[in-house]
A and B are shown apart, each in its own frame.
Chain A
Amino acid sequence: MRLLIRESTRSADGAVSHHEREADVRELTFGSAPDCAIQLIGPGIARRHGTLRPDSSGLAVECAHGCTVTVNGAEQRRGRLAFGESFTLAGHTVEARRPPPGFDAAVGLTAARTIDPAALETAYLTDLGQTGLSRRRAAWIGLILVLLVGLVLPWLLPRELVPWWTSDLVWSSGPLHPAHAVAIGDDCSACHVSPFQRVQDAQCTACHTAVADHAVPTLAAHVGLDTTRCASCHKEHNEPVHLTVDSDALCTDCHGAPAWPDNRLASVAGFSSDDHPPFSADLLHSEALPAGTGFAYRWRLASSGLADAIDRSNLRFPHDVHLDPARVQDLASGEALGCVSCHELSADDEHFVPVTMERHCRACHDLKFDRQAPDRELPHGNPAEVLLTMEGHFMRLYADPSSGEPARPRRRLPDRAAGDIERCDGPAHVCARDRTAREAEAQFTRRGCVTCHEVAVHDSADLLGRYQVVPVRLTPDFFAAARFDHRAHLTRRDATGDTLCLDCHPATTSTSSADVLMPDIAQCVACHGDHRQTDRVPLHCIDCHAFHPDSVTRDEQWE
């Protein structure tokens, strides 16, 4: 658009001078901005105040939002100027003039008599607030956006419809334990069933079916454990993953000062000789009950202080003899026996493979009973079978002259010991029965079984009812309520081999299997202590004691 601008300037003495200039403009704009076709400076003039549109009869005026001009004394946002008419704005006058040939529009401009020169600032954007930035608008956008993504959308939208950043995954405060993550994936509702309700135990026990409670319900109610949720201790969504509480307070809060009625547990405040009670051994006790011609045995587990503990396994076994290299050697190698000759660590690194006659004793302690029959051995474990085996053997010996052995009267040879020849002139079955009775009496009361076993001799005419071997049960775990990692303790700077075992288990001086060769707390606290003792290897309560037992602790009092 070709524009002719006629500027009229009034000098101080009132004389008016005119100046014409031409401009090529895309649009006939007016305002304070320098790039307006008509730049007007003054109070109340916007940078882009308005636009003039020429037509055949004059100029159409249209002001920007919130802006006006004065036409014929009236403020207007829109209006028309016929040729020769004008509008005023902050003292400036803009007149619509008929464009001369070659021009699309012509205006006359008379500047205001007085112009505040400082108003020139309105021509420029000199404040960030003028750039379209709005703190208020940004605040609202941020507020609404965060509430939408952080709260509203995850709540309202179904999971399958939304990407992760609008799902309830944004509420997760941390990763799940890997096992839980594999089991339930990212399904929050697997545990968080109802909004604003804590995770309930039912969600845990749905999978963890074999976890035993710490105490029977009645006792648990006494100490408030009945209202303690699984998640009170087992906290998810933590980094590093840490599902088990190992703080000693977990135990000492209650066991520091046991407050339930008729408590039989000593108080425990930590792990030191002063804070922790001496160890007690869990021992099996046999109780004989009359049954038939003899007894039946019932086994009970009872706890006993280590100082008074007597192992009533009914086995006769002197450790000192077996560990004395001068008295006992391995038959095959000729070397002294060691702890590992009999005690083999089981896979849990805590307990040992049970010692059995067949695997650990029989290589030395055979069950031969007749010198003339060195290949025959008695069966182990059943006295009746022992008697029947002997009886059968001797019956054959006396009844069958061709069995190869001197059953019938025979000449005594000078180089044979007296016991080698048994004479019997009676019928074979009588001879066999007598011989069996004598041999049984020897086996059950003088040598053989009685070497290792307690044998009860009854006054019974029937040989089968006369001898009763008291059953043997080796205590499988002297400290059933505690855990111990034997393998971790097999590495020491100053000891190897049996020394490692004997430091805690004084077997070389034990003359009787009644000895309980378990160490007391003094042995442990030489190296270990609780977290308050900085010069010891720290132990938490749960390093030795499980909160959840293998089965609920039985106590008749609380049943």
Chain B
Amino acid sequence: MFANLLRYRGYRYLWWGLGSIALGWAIYVSQGDGEPPNGGTWQGYVLGTWAALLIVWLTFLGYRKRSYRSGLGTTQGWTSAHVYLGLAVWVLATLHSGVQFGANVHTLAYVLMSIVILSGLFGLHAYLNYPSRLAQNRGGRNRRELFAELYELNRRGLELAGRCAPDVQTAVRSSIQLTRIGGGVWEQLSGRDRSAYDSLTQGRRPNPDQAAVIDEVAARITRADRRDEVTSLQELLAVLCRRQTVLRRLREDVRLNAWLSAWLYLHVPLTFATLAALVAHIVSTFIYW
């Protein structure tokens, strides 16, 4: 679907975008040498109006994507148009500006629009690349199944730890209790693991990737003085290692999903900020005509 998004109907909207840029450029160069190219010539007004209408239309896509019953084209087609014409509007707005920038509301509109477009480009990159990485990471399962497996491993780990000495019980129980998956914005995006566990001898210790608790349990095997404890510890170690693997997949799943949606937290709000700046740009232009 995502590759088709760009190739939709034989690159139909790529040609639309290129056509828009070519026409916009022709209008731009017709401004001649009478004054520097700017938004105040008739060509500038045409380019500006065109770009503004395109921005409003591109914003409408956000609404269109939620209206699946609409008979107006396919979502895939609209998204393809959104990508190509969104890039074209960048060129049209630049031509409209005459590449004159300053500390003013007009440049604010341009900058906001540029951030929206750049974030959209990242979103396109994410949509094209991340789904396959997600599928590969999940190994044919979905997130629910991974969490269900984690739940069972937690339960089994607690059960096995219950058969062991108190220090192992404390370490394993706390490591499960203090396991972190996801978390705040930065933790989700970076995949940073702030898990910890409580060691009876050393207090609370960081436990990224569950390595510390695994090391402690592994080291404990050699100090076990009963055969059944050794068996329990070995089983426990196997559970903790399986758990480590599942946690890695889950953490990567959360990270990729976070990036897959993070760009929208810039793209959508700044789209509305751009619309507001566009209103301010147009109204202020005519207040001080």
B182 beta carbon closer than 8 Å to chain A: yes
Interface string of B130-154 (1 = CB under 8 A from A): 0000000000000111011111101
Residues of A within 8 Å of B149, CB to CB, are 117
A34 and B180 CA atoms in complex are apart in Å by: 8
A195 and B285 CA atoms in complex are apart in Å by: 10
A198 and B185 CA atoms in complex are apart in Å by: 49
B273 beta carbon closer than 8 Å to chain A: yes
In B243-289, the 8 Å CB interface with A consists of: 250, 253-254, 257-258, 261-262, 264-265, 268-273, 275-277, 279-281, 283-289
User: Contact at A247–B104, with CB atoms within 8 Å?
Assistant: no
CB distance from B59 to the nearest CB of A (A): 11
User: Contact at A173–B104, with CB atoms within 8 Å?
Assistant: yes
Closest residue of chain A to B181, judged by CB? A124
A193 and B5 CA atoms in complex are apart in Å by: 51
Residues of A within 8 Å of B283, CB to CB, are 151
- Give the interface residue-count category, chain B: 35 or more
A495 beta carbon closer than 8 Å to chain B: no
- Give the interface residue-count category, chain A: 35 or more
Residues of B within 8 Å of A238, CB to CB, are 35-36, 38, 98, 100
Interface string of A134-163 (1 = CB under 8 A from B): 010011111111110111001100000000
For B35, B103, B178, B181, the residue with the greatest tally of chain A CB atoms inside 10 Å of its CB is B35
User: Contact at A171–B288, with CB atoms within 8 Å?
Assistant: yes
Per a CB cutoff under 8 Å, which of B102, B145, B268, B276 touches A172?
B102
Per a CB cutoff under 8 Å, which of B257, B273, B284 touches A143?
B273
A345 and B276 CA atoms in complex are apart in Å by: 60
Label chain B's interface by main secondary structure: helix
User: Contact at B188–A135, with CB atoms within 8 Å?
Assistant: no
Given A135-B265, A531-B33: A126 and B254 interface contact (C-beta under 8 Å): yes
User: Contact at B184–A131, with CB atoms within 8 Å?
Assistant: yes
Given A121-B147, A172-B102: A128 and B284 interface contact (C-beta under 8 Å): no
A169 and B106 CA atoms in complex are apart in Å by: 11
Given A192-B288, A199-B289: A135 and B268 interface contact (C-beta under 8 Å): yes
A249 beta carbon closer than 8 Å to chain B: yes
Q: Besides the contacts A117-B150, A143-B275, A250-B34, what 6 more A-B pairs have beta carbons closer than 8 Å?
A: A119-B147, A126-B143, A135-B265, A173-B38, A173-B104, A195-B287
CB distance from A520 to the nearest CB of B (A): 27
Lowest 3 CB-CB distances: which A-B pairs, in order?
A: A247-B34, A150-B280, A142-B273
B40 beta carbon closer than 8 Å to chain A: yes
Given A117-B147, A146-B273, A531-B33: A125 and B183 interface contact (C-beta under 8 Å): yes
A129 and B285 CA atoms in complex are apart in Å by: 38
A210 beta carbon closer than 8 Å to chain B: no
Residues of B within 8 Å of A131, CB to CB, are 183-185, 188
A120 and B273 CA atoms in complex are apart in Å by: 38
A155 and B152 CA atoms in complex are apart in Å by: 63
CB distance from A458 to the nearest CB of B (A): 60
A461 beta carbon closer than 8 Å to chain B: no
User: Contact at A118–B102, with CB atoms within 8 Å?
Assistant: no
The 8 listed contacts between A and B (C-beta, < 8 Å) are A41-B151, A126-B188, A128-B188, A135-B269, A151-B284, A155-B287, A171-B287, A173-B100
Residues of B within 8 Å of A197, CB to CB, are 289
A496 and B247 CA atoms in complex are apart in Å by: 89
Given A131-B188, A239-B100, A249-B34: A171 and B284 interface contact (C-beta under 8 Å): yes
User: Contact at A192–B185, with CB atoms within 8 Å?
Assistant: no
CB distance from A538 to the nearest CB of B (A): 10
Closest residue of chain B to A244, judged by CB? B35
A240 beta carbon closer than 8 Å to chain B: yes
User: Contact at A146–B33, with CB atoms within 8 Å?
Assistant: no
User: Contact at B36–A121, with CB atoms within 8 Å?
Assistant: no
Per a CB cutoff under 8 Å, which of A128, A139, A171 touches B262?
A128
A129 and B257 CA atoms in complex are apart in Å by: 11
A356 and B162 CA atoms in complex are apart in Å by: 123
User: Contact at B272–A143, with CB atoms within 8 Å?
Assistant: yes
Given A118-B151, A150-B108, A170-B105: A127 and B257 interface contact (C-beta under 8 Å): yes
Residues of A within 8 Å of B34, CB to CB, are 245-247, 249-250
User: Contact at A173–B285, with CB atoms within 8 Å?
Assistant: yes
Closest residue of chain A to B262, judged by CB? A128
In A167-216, the 8 Å CB interface with B consists of: 168-175, 188, 192, 195-199
User: Contact at A174–B268, with CB atoms within 8 Å?
Assistant: no
B177 beta carbon closer than 8 Å to chain A: yes
User: Contact at B254–A142, with CB atoms within 8 Å?
Assistant: no
Given A128-B262, A195-B287: A118 and B269 interface contact (C-beta under 8 Å): no
Residues of B within 8 Å of A74, CB to CB, are none
B39 beta carbon closer than 8 Å to chain A: yes
